[in-house]
Amino acid sequence: MPVSELEICREKLRSLIQRKAFLRRLPNEEPFRLASGGKSWTFFDCKLVTQDPEGIALVAEMIFERVKDYHLNGIGGIETGAIPICTAVSLFSFLRRMPIPAFWVRHKPKERGTKNKIEGGLKPNSRVVILDDVTTEGNSVGEAVNAVLEANCEIVEIITMIDREQGARRKFENAGYKFTSLFTISEFKS
C-alpha cells in the first residue's frame, strides 16, 4: 500500500477512535478504572471501534501492512481486546494471499475440554506478533508475552492500537522487544 494511502487509512482510524471510543469524564464525576488498576478521566473503549465494520477493517489493514513481510506463524494477544484484532488481521492476511493464523491467550487456562491457555493452535518455535487494543503499563500484554514464551515461540514485535504512554513502551523495550503503537494518547483531544 502506498504511503499516502496508509496515511489516509491512519487518519480515518484516528478520527473514528476520537468520535466513538475516546471517552472523557469531568472532575465532578467518578474517574474510569483502568485494567492497570489506575484511574483516569479519559478512557479508550476500543471495542466500539474493533466491533465497527469500518473500524476493524482499518485496524486490520494497518497492522497487516506493518507485519506482512515478517513471515509470521501467528498473530494474537490477550483476551478480550486482542481477539477481534487478531481475527481480523488473520482474515485480511488470507484475502491478501499471505495467511497468518490467529491465536489468543486466556487469562486463566480453560477449566474443561483441552484446558488450553492459548487458543488457536499456536505451535512451538512460531514467529509471532502480539497485539493489544489499549496499553497502559503493559501488564495484560505481559501475560500474553509470558504465555507465548512458555510455548517456546519468538516474539517479533508487540503492536498496540493505543499507547496510553504510562510505561508499557519502556517496559517492553527494556526487555528487548520491538514495541509499536498505531496511536498514542497524546494524539487525541480531550
CA atoms within 13 A on the CB side of 57: 6
Q: What is the pLDDT of residue 38?
A: 87
Query: Nine-digit cell at 87?
Result: 481475527
**Residue-wise pLDDT tens digits, 11-55:** 999 999 999 999 999 989 999 998 888 899 999 999 999 999 999
Q: What is the pLDDT of residue 112?
A: 82
Q: What is the pLDDT of residue 108?
A: 87
Q: Is the pLDDT of residue 190 over 80?
A: no
- Quote the crossing angle between the two packed helices 3-16 and 53-67, to the nearest 10°: 140
**Residue-wise pLDDT tens digits, 95-117:** 999 999 999 999 888 788 878 89
Q: What is the pLDDT of residue 35?
A: 85
Q: Measured between alpha carbons, how far is 85 from 102 in angstroms, rounded to an integer? A: 9
Cα distances (angstroms) measured from residue 18 to each of 12, 13, 96, 102, 188? 10, 9, 29, 27, 6
Q: Measured between alpha carbons, how far is 159 from 39 in angstroms, rounded to an integer? A: 23
CA atoms within 13 A on the CB side of 136: 13
The pTM (predicted TM-score) of the whole model is 0.94
Q: Is the pLDDT of residue 3 over 80?
A: no
Q: What is the pLDDT of residue 1?
A: 67
Average pLDDT of the chain, as a whole number: 94
Query: Nine-digit cell at 137?
Result: 503499563
**Residue-wise pLDDT tens digits, 120-167:** 989 999 999 999 999 999 999 999 999 999 999 999 999 999 999 999
Q: What is the pLDDT of residue 30?
A: 94
Rounded to a whole number of angstroms, the distance between the first and last alpha carbons of the chain is 32
**Residue-wise pLDDT tens digits, 167-179:** 999 999 999 999 9
**Residue-wise pLDDT tens digits, 45-91:** 999 999 999 999 999 999 999 999 999 999 999 999 999 999 999 99
85 closest CA partner among 102, 68, 65: 102
- Residues in Cβ contact with 81 at an 8 Å cutoff, skipping those fewer than 6 apart: 46, 47, 50, 132, 133, 134, 140
Domains, the chain: 3-187 (3.40.50.2020)
Q: Measured between alpha carbons, how far is 119 from 105 in angstroms, rounded to an integer? A: 6
CA atoms within 13 A on the CB side of 26: 1
Q: Please, which pLDDT band fits residue 4 given cuts at 50, 70 and 90?
A: confident
More confident residue, 20 or 3: 20
